Structure 1
Amino acid sequence: MRFDTEAMSSDAHIRKVLNIVRTHLDMDVGFVAEFVDGKRVFRHVDGDQSPVAPGDSGLLEDSYCQRVVDGRLPELMTDACDNAEALTISATRELPVGAHMSVPLRLPDGRVFGTFCCFSFLANPSLNARDLRILRAFAAIVADLIHEELDAQRELKQKRERIEKVIANQAFHVRYQPIYRLNDETVAGFEALARFEAEPYRSPDKWFAEADEVGLGEELEIALARKALEALSEFPKDVLLSVNFSPATIMTSSFAQLFATLPLDRVVLEVTEHAAVANYTELSARLHPFRLRGLLLAVDDAGAGHSSFRHVLDLRPDTIKLDMSLTRNIDRDRGRQALASALSMFGRAMGSQIVAEGVESEAELDALRRVGVTKVQGYLTGRPMPLADAVQLVGVKSKALRKRA
């Protein structure tokens, strides 16, 4: 027997095991039950004629399961009606229960999770100790799967609580990285970037990935954007502020509420090309009223994502931002130069600005000038910085750009 662990969830594994065992033992019903607060809860059920379904429950003391675990009933009965203790349970005659097999599901720490059981409506005198050993062996597999699932649930709960705490306590700050025009060497705007203060200390992309994993991606994006957009009042009106959003968050009511009263002619919305878009027509329609109010649209990470430039083609952005994987070492790579040049030509034809991200060397800057890039952003011209430092850069020519002009 082989299970594809990549393709099957723990629940699917358990259902498969349950079906195999029930069929092999020629039983009518198989189930996995959990003991919860004095009740027996059916978690998995197999059998076309089963009188119970997943989620059903009843008093634990009224069950075979409890009495098997505490030793009042044997793990194997070829005919439950021959057992005096079993006859005290109403289900024995009401269902009826004929052959019955049940073993405890013990977790690695020794706790009894519940039981792994099979029964038939008729007696089956052919069942023997060998069949019971088979049931125990498969029960051990199921117990391991349950243990893994419980661990995964605990980890997910911890992750969710961590993200909730970050949002509630605003355990993050915003840094602003300048974006320079190459024609006059001054700041055109800033990109707002998140930095997290909470433990574990790690890169922002890992925080966002974890938030998405626990269903809090929207809440984290909105909280950070709200904080970042407070800087609009500190910058002159001709300085743009870029904020990042995933397509999924753009489609939410929280996004609409946040952008309802902003001076959108000063805001650039960056949509990452790494994120998949389920429906471009719906996304464009969602953005349309905001763009009518002046919102500028940028496609981030162009050339790096799986979207194959569909963001660029279908969203018609005002700005195309070349990913740093395309910018890096562009001075030494003719392929990168050709792609950047083609994107620059495309941008001019579509009326889009081209911003190169991740510019770190003067050689890269020279190459980007030659291929037609209009704006640059990177450590060469300015690292992400506190708001007070960013405000001081406005109107000041970049030394790095002036040196290479």
Structure 2
Amino acid sequence: MDFPDSIKQQTCRDCLSGQSLGFEIRMAFQPIVDWHKQHIVSYEALVRGPEGQGAGWVFERINEDNRYYFDQACRVKAIETAARLGCDTFLNINFLPNAVYNPETCIKATIEAADMYKFDMTKLIFEVTEGEQIIDKNHLQRIFSSYSKRGFKTAIDDYGSGFSRMDWLTDLRPDILKLDMQLIRDIDQCHEKQNVVRDVVKVCNLQGTQILAEGIESKNELDCLLELGIHLFQGYYLAKPALEELVTVPFDEF
């Protein structure tokens, strides 16, 4: 994917100057749990507006003029907030691959933020944000490869919706594959969905990709997924996202 020089130059200036988006962004955090070990392994940072408005409110204000800085600002804000809250688990950060013109250049602000706020860079997980239309798979492969070389983990979000093609999974070989909530919803009652997940589990086991089921809303869904060989979970059944707070999961209540 090629970006005009003017965009590249503007992007770098924005990252260095801290150009304002025109509104404040904040971060909410939702825990990701390892059910077998009964503990929280990561928190996903979810962008919010200045008064806690949802991601939809924020993305309505993102356009071609500010999406590059927005991607950088979200990374920095996620790291700053997580560090301030004392996060010592992994941290999942959504990113916009179409806003990354050069992986090596565009990661600099992230590295500087981790160093400034003393957050362990080896605990960063970059996941392709939901709703992002991927124009160039090769470009995303280059990003994943660059991040992996630096020791970062990578994740594909929403598998079963926009990323449902198996070749994406085998070509990109992410560290983590997140199953879309539409695939998870009522999976205990749908044999077709169960068969889809079984096939994905087989491929992921062969290539060493961990599977995370997101959008868990019931015990029946969780139990069914456990039987299918999945043990990483995220969803309202366990804990809702909390604005600038690292919520815990009451495992003994399930």
The answer to whether the Cα contact below 8 Å between 1:273 and 1:307 also exists between their aligned partners in 2 is: no
What does 1:208-247 align with in structure 2 at a 5 Å threshold?
208-212=59-63, 214-230=64-80, 231-232=82-83, 234-236=86-88, 239-247=89-97
**Taking CA–CA contacts closer than 8 Å with sequence separation of 6 or more, which of the two structures ends up with the larger relative contact order?**
2
Per the alignment, residue 194 of structure 2 pairs with 337
Q: Which residue of 2 aligns with 1:177?
A: 30
Matching of residue 361 in structure 1 with residue 215 in structure 2: no
* Count of aligned pairs: 227
**What is the TM-score with the length of structure 2 in the denominator?**
0.79
Is the 8 Å Cα contact of residues 179 and 212 (structure 2) preserved in structure 1? yes
Task: Give the aligned partner of residue 167 of structure 1.
Answer: 21
Which residue of structure 2 aligns with residue 91 of structure 1?
A: none
Task: Give 1:250's match in structure 2, choosing from 100, 103, 110.
Answer: 100
Please state whether the residue corresponding to 2:168 is helix, strand or coil: helix
**Offset of residue 336 of structure 1:** 1.1
Q: Residues 225 and 276 (structure 1 numbering): CA distance in 2 closer, same or farther, change over 3 Å?
A: same
Give the Å deviation of 1:389: 3.8
In the alignment, the residues of structure 2 paired with residue 246 and residue 312 of structure 1 have an alpha-carbon distance, to the nearest angstrom, of 18
What is the Cα deviation at residue 343 of structure 1?
Answer: 1.3
Offset at residue 178 of structure 1 (A): 0.2
TM-score, normalised with respect to structure 1: 0.51
Aligned-partner residue type, residue 47 of structure 2: A
RMSD after superposition: 2.6
SS of the residue corresponding to residue 151 of structure 2 reads coil
Alignment gaps of 5+ in structure 2: 1-18, 115-119
* Shift in Å, 1:307: 6.0
Candidates 122, 139, 143, aligned match of 1:282: 139
Question: What SS does the corresponding residue of 2:29 show, helix, strand or coil?
Answer: strand
Q: 1:244 and 1:190 mapped to 2: Cα distance? A: 12
Query: 2:40: which partner in 1?
Result: 187
Secondary structure in structure 2 of the residue aligned to 1:372: coil
Instruction: Give the whole-Å Cα distance in 2 for the aligned partners of 1:176 and 1:398.
Output: 18
1:87-126 mapped onto 2 (5 Å cutoff): none
What is the alpha-carbon distance in structure 1 between the residues aligned to residue 240 and residue 127 of structure 2?
19
Distance 1:229 1:313, change over 3 A: same
1:398 matched to which residue of 2?
A: 251
Judging changes above 3 Å, is the alpha-carbon distance between structure 1 residues 309 and 244 closer, same or farther for their aligned structure 2 residues? farther
3-state SS of 2:74 partner: helix
Note the C-alpha offset of 1:386: 3.7
Indicate if the aligned counterparts of 1:273 and 1:304 stay in contact, CA closer than 8 A.
no
Quick check: 1:174–1:386 contact (8 Å CA) kept in 2? yes
The CA deviation at 1:210 is: 4.3
Q: Deviations over 1:276-296 (max 9, x none)?
A: 333333332233333122100
**CA separation in 2, counterparts of 1:323 and 1:283?**
19
User: Which runs of 5 or more structure 1 residues have no equivalent in the other structure?
Assistant: 1-164
Alpha carbons 2:30, 2:246 under 8 Å: kept: no
Note the C-alpha offset of 1:369.
0.5
Tell me if the contact between 2:214 and 2:233 (Cα under 8 Å) persists in the aligned partners. yes
Give the counterpart letter for 1:341 in structure 2.
R
